[in-house]
Structure 1
Amino acid sequence: MKIFEKLFNPREVRRKLGMNQQEFWTKIGVTQSGGSRYESGRNMPKPVRELLRLVHVEQVDLSRVRREDFEIIDYLKENHPDLYKSLQKAVKAQEGESKDEAA
């Protein structure tokens, strides 16, 4: 078993999210039958694993992501690392507040 596969099982992720196979796999462009094969142990291509991780584990809404966003991130990391770290901390703090409010 590969390290990535040890980190999460797609069936477990799907079940924790309370989604059926159709909902879960369609979000990353995989048919329900293809997803079923992956859940049954068929080798999942790296791009599919990465999309699964981004969409279902990291909860990234791909419809909101643009190349420009990554260019800005790279620019901040290289030219203004302190600002990048400050923004990163602010986002984490905001996420923490959101979780506290939901509880």
Structure 2
Amino acid sequence: MKSFAKIDNIREIRKKLGLNQIDFWGQIGVTQSGGSRYESGRNMPKPVRELLRLVHVERINLANVNQNDMTVLALLKEKHADLYADLKKEAKAINKKK
């Protein structure tokens, strides 16, 4: 799934994961009532949509991502742009196979 792409099947994703609204939305800092509105079709802000994609679609545990990870990523992108681009292409190819 492309970053910031519209997610049409939020309720279906939540149900496949076997989570109630409190647990599903709480993992990304959204209240149950806010999540219910998004599931009913209310427009979801891009940052919330991206968090939903990372946590519930890509299955990334945000607790394991720390500032050092982000710094290494920024340094790799800045100082070794060619390697960064190659790794990004490779990751995209791997994710397409899944």
Name 2:19's counterpart in structure 1. 19
TM-score, structure 1 normalization: 0.67
- Number of residues paired by the alignment? 91
Structure 1, gaps ≥5 residues long: 94-103
Name 1:30's counterpart in structure 2. 30
TM-score, structure 2 normalization: 0.70
The structure with more helix, counted as a fraction of residues: 1
Structure 2, gaps ≥5 residues long: none
Map 1:60-99 onto structure 2 (within 5 A): 60-79=60-79, 82=83
Give structure 1 regions of 4+ aligned residues with deviation exceeding 6 angstroms.
none
Greater gyration radius: 1
Cα deviations across residues 52-84 of structure 1 (Å, max 9, x unaligned)? 111111111111111220221232345455599
Task: Tell me, yes or no, if the aligned pair for 1:76 and 1:84 is still in contact at 8 Å.
Answer: no
CA-based RMSD of the aligned residues comes to 3.0
Per chain length, whose mean CA-contact separation is higher, i.e. which structure has more relative contact order (CA < 8 Å, sep 6+)?
2
> Tell me, what secondary structure is at the counterpart of 1:74?
helix
